Structure 1
Amino acid sequence: MTSADQVNRLLALVPYLQTHPNAELGATAAVFGVTAEQLLDDLNVLWFCGLPGGMPGDLIEVDMDAVTESGRIRLTNADYLSRPMRFTPDEAMSLVVALRAVRELAGGNLAEGTESALAKLERATGAGTVTPMVAVAVGSKDIRQQLAAAVAAGELVDLDYTGAGLAPSTPRVAPVRLITRDGFGYLQAWSPERAGWRTYRLDRIDAVRPTGQPAGEVGEPPAFGPGWLEQRADAAQVTLRLAPAAAWITEYYPTRAVRTLDAAIEVDLLVADPAWLRSLLLRLGSDVLAVTPPAAADAAREAATEALAAYAG
């Protein structure tokens, strides 16, 4: 939680409390997606905020005794913050673009809400004619609707799926979440056969067949935001040229780019742990045709040489 996050939350918190007098601490914390302890910290900051001057009549007043004793928030002397903060033009533009991406996957009530919010933002910002259009590879609308229905019903489905190596498969999975990232739509699903989470590119799903079988409780899939490697300053890009048989790694590891060649594929990866890359290269073996930069393969080459020497001995 950064100080910028807290400032943004406080600017939205004041008008919320003015329209919800005597708000309950825990319920208010849930509205803002924080813990009650964090909201209490926010309130302790808030009552030192106000108009220039810093005199008692200039500061926002929060009845901290009521918060402590009854869990109720009573706020006064903050009429000058009666409206939520407004988006900057850049923030509004970013939100319009994000909503256009969400629209590609939205269905049912979510689709209606997305269209409504997008229309209001476009009218308010004049963004309808100046923002770039969003194109997301999300497969056919029928398939997305079938998957969304299976998610809502908690039902197992059979997929006709073509992986990165062009090998067809028919996995039976419990669809849980449809998401987008880097211009592609994905399905996160639980695989009963493999007892683990799997991610499928929507544009590679050729058919969805309902089974009528309940999926049961499968929990929440792992986070699919920017990978931790992308957050590390010490991560370096490594390019692997691979035989088609090794194309499966694009389904299991975060990639920056994948290029199809005549008889190979090239994969750009971010690598922060040389030991992880060494293990991957040893696992791929002869399917690794080239590594850029070449020095990135030195550790794997040395380990393979040592293993062969020990085997020969």
Structure 2
Amino acid sequence: MTRPAARGGSRASADRLARLLNLVPYLLARPGIELAEAAGDLGVTERQLREDLELLWVCGLPGYGPGDLIDMAFDGDRVTITYDAGIDRPLRLTPDEALALVVALRMLAETPGVTNREAVERALAKIENAAGDLVAAPVEVRLPADTRRVAELRTAVESGRALRITYYTAARDETTDRVVDPLRMLMVGGRAYVEAWCRRAEAVRLFRADRIDAVAELEERAVVPPQARPHDLTEGVFRPSPDLPLITLRIGRGERWLTEYYPCERVEAGGGDQWLVSLRVTDLGWARRFVLGLGPDVAVVAPVELAEQVRAAAVAALDAYASPVPAAPPVPVGGPDPARAVSPADPAVTAGTQ
């Protein structure tokens, strides 16, 4: 129920910004014009025009002192601009500026989480129409993600219906089927996410687009419970908290990138080139797979449980490599038995092929 109002508010703000940018050149060309006449020319009420003029009084150049802000003089119901702060004519873009703005708007239009894509697309169409051949260069804008899947998810979210998704959860290394009620799509750290009320978890969850293996729209409308609240993502998707497990790793020089890529609670210099790094993780299962995927310059210091899990997994992997592959049964002299012939796609054959 709030989305149409939000779009209307965004559109009203955009319309007011365009009106303010045109208002100063308009008044400069008509010093001493009556407010009623100006309001009629601009298609607004006199009250709205007065509010726009009051806003212009606090607009201007960096520094924002008395000599930097737009200034005007009133004589009864007449107004005259006395300082324009450089807005003395409509904006004119150079070819490079127009192209840069078009590319930025195209990227913005493709970014999940833009609340008013229609406004972006209208602005883009106006600039492209005004610039003409200046922006006709073959520039293609693509986000660093699976654009087909992102477009599919965005269409599904905008439909306002509940979705059935098949989702891979990296923290538990499992794939589950869920029914979700979408709230929004957004882009964080170069990755696209669907934020939705998950009926399975009975909570708001973030689902990475590249981990959604399948999505289907349901006939029922999405119904988000009143207690559902969007996440605060100003500091990123993962927000460490004291209740999460704390792990400590000893890392070499080649693995110091961890301290820049992951939020660490403590980084201390160890012996030689080694560092001691402590960070919070969602659970020890994820931490075990995380450590196993790193290089040989990483060792688990704490907790002991995690060190034992990593050691056990490493030993099991070495044992698997040490076990000889069973030899294939001998082929009869007259060729294979037709009754036991199998196709190359037979699981019994492919499973034993390395």
Mapped pair 1:274 → 2:274: no
Mapped pair 1:149 → 2:159: yes
Q: 2:226 maps to which residue?
A: 217
Distance in 1 between residues matched to 2:139 and 2:202, nearest whole Å: 43
Structure 2 residue corresponding to 1:49, chosen from 63, 68, 73: 68
Mapped pair 1:286 → 2:297: no
Query: Deviation at 1:121?
Result: 3.1
Query: Deviation at 1:281?
Result: 9.1
CA gap 1:24/1:117 in 2 versus in 1, 3 angstroms: closer
Given that 1:159 and 1:172 are in contact with CA atoms closer than 8 Å, whether structure 2 keeps it comes out as yes
Distance in 2 between residues matched to 1:156 and 1:23, nearest whole Å: 44
Given that 1:15 and 1:84 are in contact with CA atoms closer than 8 Å, whether structure 2 keeps it comes out as yes
Note the 1:1-313 alignment, pairs <5 A.
15-16=22-23, 42=59, 45=64, 47-49=66-68, 60-61=71-72, 76-78=81-83, 81-83=87-89, 85=91, 92-104=98-110, 113-123=119-129, 124=131, 126-129=134-137, 131-135=139-143, 136-140=145-149, 141-150=151-160, 155-164=161-170, 167-181=174-188, 184-205=191-212, 206-210=214-218, 212=220, 214-217=223-226, 221-224=230-233, 227=236, 269-274=261-266, 277-280=278-281, 283=284, 284-287=286-289, 288-289=291-292, 291=294, 294=297, 301=301, 303-304=302-303
Distance in 2 between residues matched to 1:137 and 1:221, nearest whole Å: 24
CA gap 1:97/1:197 in 2 versus in 1, 3 angstroms: farther
CA gap 1:139/1:130 in 2 versus in 1, 3 angstroms: closer
Given that 1:156 and 1:174 are in contact with CA atoms closer than 8 Å, whether structure 2 keeps it comes out as yes
CA gap 1:49/1:100 in 2 versus in 1, 3 angstroms: closer
Query: Deviation at 1:177?
Result: 1.2
Other structure's SS at 1:185 match: strand
Distance in 1 between residues matched to 2:118 and 2:296, nearest whole Å: 49
Other structure's SS at 2:159 match: helix
CA gap 1:226/1:49 in 2 versus in 1, 3 angstroms: same
What is the root-mean-square deviation of aligned Cα atoms in Å? 5.4
Given that 1:186 and 1:201 are in contact with CA atoms closer than 8 Å, whether structure 2 keeps it comes out as yes
Distance in 1 between residues matched to 2:71 and 2:190, nearest whole Å: 45
Query: Deviation at 1:40?
Result: 7.4
Distance in 2 between residues matched to 1:76 and 1:143, nearest whole Å: 50
What do the CA deviations read for 1:177-211 (whole angstroms, capped 9, x no partner)?
A: 12335654321213354344322233443122326
Query: Deviation at 1:134?
Result: 1.9
Distance in 1 between residues matched to 2:224 and 2:192, nearest whole Å: 22
Query: Which one has the bigger helix percentage?
Result: 1
Given that 1:160 and 1:170 are in contact with CA atoms closer than 8 Å, whether structure 2 keeps it comes out as yes
Query: Deviation at 1:49?
Result: 3.2
Given that 1:105 and 1:138 are in contact with CA atoms closer than 8 Å, whether structure 2 keeps it comes out as no
| Identity within the alignment, % | 23
Amino acid at match of 1:286: R
CA gap 1:188/1:98 in 2 versus in 1, 3 angstroms: farther
Q: 2:323 maps to which residue?
A: none
Given that 2:112 and 2:187 are in contact with CA atoms closer than 8 Å, whether structure 1 keeps it comes out as no
Other structure's SS at 1:76 match: strand
CA gap 1:279/1:144 in 2 versus in 1, 3 angstroms: closer
Given that 1:158 and 1:208 are in contact with CA atoms closer than 8 Å, whether structure 2 keeps it comes out as yes
**TM-score if structure 1 supplies the norm length?**
0.51
Distance in 2 between residues matched to 1:306 and 1:106, nearest whole Å: 40
What do the CA deviations read for 1:20-61 (whole angstroms, capped 9, x no partner)?
A: 7966699769xxxxxx9x9876589475337xxxxxxxx822
Query: Deviation at 1:268?
Result: 8.0
**TM-score if structure 2 supplies the norm length?**
0.46
The structure showing larger relative contact order (alpha-carbon pairs under 8 Å, at least 6 residues apart) is 1
Larger Rg computed on CA atoms? 2
Amino acid at match of 1:278: L
What do the CA deviations read for 1:75-94 (whole angstroms, capped 9, x no partner)?
A: 73246724455556665444
Distance in 2 between residues matched to 1:120 and 1:169, nearest whole Å: 45
Runs of 4+ in 1 over 6 A off after TM superposition: none
Amino acid at match of 2:288: S
Q: Where does structure 1 lack aligned partners over 5 or more consecutive residues?
A: 1-9, 30-35, 51-58, 67-73, 230-239, 241-256, 258-265, 309-313
What do the CA deviations read for 1:63-117 (whole angstroms, capped 9, x no partner)?
A: 7xx9xxxxxxx7732467244555566654443233323444689x966554443
Given that 1:12 and 1:84 are in contact with CA atoms closer than 8 Å, whether structure 2 keeps it comes out as no
